[in-house]
Amino acid sequence: MAKPSKAATTSSLYQAIVYIIVGPQKQKFSIHKNLLCHYSSYFNVSLNGSFKEAQRGSMELLNDDPVLFEIFKTWLYSKKLVKDCDGDEVICSASDLVRLHVLADLRGISQLKNAVIDELEAFVTREDGESGKEGETEGEGEIEEEGESEGEDGSEEDGGI
């Protein structure tokens, strides 16, 4: 009989805990190591390699934003992109999402990057209405005839040589 693969099983994801110290105020986050490493190539290398972080079971990310890291941690456990505001879950702003995408890119978290892009698309759709059509201004989407363009004074010019 073949041995089970090394793919992460649910029970193996929630065993050992690591501590990630984030931001200049050194906010401490406790996260299940295998869950973190399963989703992040950066943390997988850092916490399973021969680095001091792997031996200590902790690492410092003093230049990262604790608010964004909290959003990441929430996503890691729930797959929701929300902020915790006094116990209430609040949808992330577009700015938060863009900054979260940068964090996901830096930390090798491709599934989070995809989730952020999906949420940004939903955000834009919510803001602009259906497919952005409501915000179109007059003249948008019109195709200029070949060889025609407006001059600086607003008059039409021939685009030929």
Beta-bridge partner residues of 150: 156
Per-residue confidence band for 15, with pLDDT thresholds at 50, 70 and 90 = confident
Give the chain as a 3 state SS string.
CCCCCCCCCHHHHCCCEEEEEECCCCEEEEEEHHHHHHHCHHHHHHHHCCCHHHHHCEEEECCCCHHHHHHHHHHHHHCCCEEEECCEEEECCHHHHHHHHHHHHHCCCHHHHHHHHHHHHHHHHHHHCHHHHHHCCCCCCCCCCCCEEECCCCCEEECCC
Residue 89's pLDDT is: 75
| R_g of the chain, CA atoms, integer Å | 24
Instruction: Give the model confidence (pLDDT) of 41-69 as tens digits.
Output: 999 999 998 999 999 999 999 999 999 99
**pLDDT value at position 124?**
86
Domains in the chain, please, with CATH? 15-132 (3.30.710.10)
Give the tens place of pLDDT for each residue, 65-101: 999 999 999 999 999 998 776 667 788 889 999 999 9
The pTM for the full model equals 0.71
The whole-angstrom separation of Cα 100 and Cα 26 is 19
